[in-house]
Structure 1
Amino acid sequence: MASNMPDDFDEQFLVCPVCMRHFRDPRVLPCLHTFCRECLQEWATKQQPLEPLSNNNSHCPTCRTQVSLPDQGVDGLRTNFYVSNLLDFAAAKKGAEPGVPCQVCKRSVEGSKSWCADCAVLMCESCTLLHRSFPCSKDHEVTTEETLKAEGGISTFHSKRHCDKHRNQELVFYCESCNALVCTACTVVDHRPGKDHNPVEITTVSQKKKETIQALLQDIDPRLKEMQTSIKEIDRKVSNLTPSKETATEQAKTYFRKLADLLQKREKEILSQIDEQCRADGKALQTKKEAIEFELVGLTSAQTFCQQAVQHGSDVHILEVGKQVQARVETLLAKQLDLESDWSDFQFVENTDVRDFEKEVQDLGGVKTKIDAPKCEVVLKPAVPGFECIAELATMNPEGRPCVTNSKAVTADMKDPSGTDVPTQLQMKGWGVWELSYVPKVTGSHRLEVKVNSQQVPGSPFEVEVKGNPVLTIGRKGSGVGELDLPVGVAVDKDGNIAVVERGNKRVQIFDKDTGQSLRSFPVDGEKPYDLDVDSNGMFVVTSWGEHFGLRRYTKEGKLLDTFKPDCMDDPHGLTVLKDGRMVVVNRPEQSSCLLLLQPDGSLLREIGKGQLQKPVFVSVDESRDTMFVTDKRAHKVFAFDLDGNPKFEFGKEGQNDGDFQNPKGITVDPAGNVIVGNGGDGRVQVFRANGAYIRTIGTVETERASGVTLTSDGYIAVACWNGHCIELYRYM
Structure 2
Amino acid sequence: MASKIPRSAEFDERFLTCAICMLHFRDPRILPCLHTFCKECLQLWATKQQPLECPTCRKPVSLPDQGVDGLKSNFYVSNLLDFAAVKKGAGPGVPCQVCEGKEGGARTWCVQCAVLLCESCTNTHRRFPAMKGHQIVSQENLEASEGVPSGFRRKVFCPKHEDQVLTFYCEPCQTLVCVACTVVDHRPGEQHNPVEIGGVAERKKRDLQGLLEKVEPREKVVRAALSDVETEISELPTSADAAIKEATEYFDQLMALLQDRKEEVVAEIGLRRQEVGKYLEEQKEEMEFELAGLTSASEFCKQALEHGSDVHVIEVEGQARQRVEELLTTPTDLAARPSVVVFSEGTAVAEFRDAVAKAGCVQVTGKVDASKCSLEVKPAVVKCTNVSLLAIKDKNGQLCSVPKDDVTTTLTDPFGQTVPTQLQEKGKGLWEISYTPEVSDNHRLDVRVKGQSVAGSPYDVRVQSSHTPVLTIGREGSGEGQLSYPIDVAVDKDGNIAVLENGNKRVQIFDTKTGQSLRSFPVVGEYPFGIDIDSDGQFIVTSRNQLFSTDKQAIDVYSREGELTKTLIPDCLRNPNGVAVLKDGRMVVVDDSQQSCLLLQHDGSLIREIGKGQLQGPEFIAVDESRDMFFVTDFPAHKVFVFDLEGNLNFSFGEEEENEGELHCPTGITLDPAGNIIVVNYWNNRLQVFRPDGTYLRTVAMVKGEGPWGISLTPGGYIAVACSVGHCVELYTYK
Give the greater-gyration-radius structure (CA).
Answer: 2
The TM-score normalised by the length of structure 1 is 0.48
